[in-house]
Structure 1
Amino acid sequence: MSFSRTFIFMAIFCMQSLAALLQNGFVATVLGREWVRSQGLPAGDMIVACLAASRFCLHIVATLNNFLASTMLWTLRAYFSILWDFINTVNTWFTTWLAIFYCVKISSFSHPIFFWIKWRVSRSVPRLLLGSLVIGGLSAISSATGKAIAFQMMACENCTIAYRMVAFYVYYFRCHAMLMWVTPFFLFLLSIILLMFSLYQHLEQMRYHGPRSHDYSTQAHTMALMSLAFFLIFYTSYVLLLTVSTTQVINVHNSWHWAWEVITYMGILLHSTILILSNPKMRKALKIKFPDFCIARS
Structure 2
Amino acid sequence: MLTGLDMIFLILSIVEFIIGMLGNVFIGLLNCSEWVKNQSISLADFIFTCLAISRIMQLLASLFNSLTMGLPMLVFGHTYKQAKALTLFWRIANHLSNCFATCLSIFYLLKIAHFSHSFFLWLKWRMNKVVLVILVLSLFFLIFDILLLETFNDLFLNGSNFTSHIDESKTLYVETMTLLSLTCLFPLVLSLTSVLLLFLSLVRHIRNLQLSNMGSRDSSTEVHKKAIKMVMSFFFLVIINFFATQVANWILLMFAKSKFAKFVLLAVYIFPSGHSFLLILGNSKLRQTAVRYCSILKAS
| CA separation of 1:233 and 1:128: change in aligned 2, threshold 3 A | closer
Residue number in structure 1 paired with 2:88 = 82
Contact 1:83–1:140 (Cα < 8 Å) also in 2: no
Please tell me whether residue 277 in structure 1 is matched to residue 286 in structure 2: no
Distance 2:130 2:143 in 1: 20
| CA separation of 1:140 and 1:245: change in aligned 2, threshold 3 A | farther
- 1:262, CA displacement in angstroms? 3.3
SS at match of 2:214: coil
- 1:188, CA displacement in angstroms? 1.3
Please tell me whether residue 203 in structure 1 is matched to residue 206 in structure 2: yes
What pairs with 1:1-298 in structure 2 (closer than 5 Å)? 7-70=7-70, 71-72=72-73, 73-75=77-79, 76-126=82-132, 128-129=134-135, 132-133=138-139, 135-152=141-158, 167-178=171-182, 180-211=183-214, 215-246=218-249, 248-251=250-253, 254=258, 257-286=261-290, 289-292=293-296
Q: State which drifts further: 263-272 or 115-124.
A: 263-272
- 1:258, CA displacement in angstroms? 4.8
RMSD: 3.2
Distance 1:185 1:255 in 2: 33
TM-score normalised by L of structure 1: 0.81
SS at match of 1:52: helix
Distance 2:63 2:214 in 1: 50
| CA separation of 1:215 and 1:20: change in aligned 2, threshold 3 A | same
SS at match of 2:158: helix
Distance 1:259 1:249 in 2: 10
Distance 1:201 1:293 in 2: 45
- 1:15, CA displacement in angstroms? 0.4
Matched length = 286
Distance 2:258 2:116 in 1: 51
TM-score normalised by L of structure 2: 0.81
Contact 1:150–1:166 (Cα < 8 Å) also in 2: no
Q: CA offsets per residue over residues 64-117 of structure 1, 9 Å max, x none?
A: 023224445322222111111111111111111111211121111211100111
Distance 1:99 1:56 in 2: 20
SS at match of 1:152: coil
SS at match of 1:210: coil
| CA separation of 1:230 and 1:169: change in aligned 2, threshold 3 A | closer
Q: State which drifts further: 81-90 or 198-207.
A: 198-207
Contact 2:24–2:52 (Cα < 8 Å) also in 1: yes
Query: Which runs of 5 or more structure 2 residues have no equivalent in the other structure?
Result: none
Contact 2:108–2:227 (Cα < 8 Å) also in 1: yes
Aligned-pair identity in percent equals: 25
SS at match of 1:108: coil
- 1:58, CA displacement in angstroms? 0.6
Contact 1:286–1:294 (Cα < 8 Å) also in 2: no
Q: State which drifts further: 49-58 or 39-48.
A: 39-48
Query: Which runs of 5 or more structure 1 residues have no equivalent in the other structure?
Result: none
SS at match of 2:157: helix
Distance 1:258 1:210 in 2: 58
Task: Give 1:55's aligned amino acid.
Answer: R
- 1:17, CA displacement in angstroms? 0.8
Contact 1:103–1:194 (Cα < 8 Å) also in 2: yes
- 1:133, CA displacement in angstroms? 4.7
Distance 1:5 1:231 in 2: 31
| CA separation of 1:50 and 1:19: change in aligned 2, threshold 3 A | same
Distance 1:193 1:254 in 2: 42
Distance 2:298 2:211 in 1: 41
| CA separation of 1:230 and 1:168: change in aligned 2, threshold 3 A | closer
Distance 2:260 2:141 in 1: 31
- 1:38, CA displacement in angstroms? 3.1
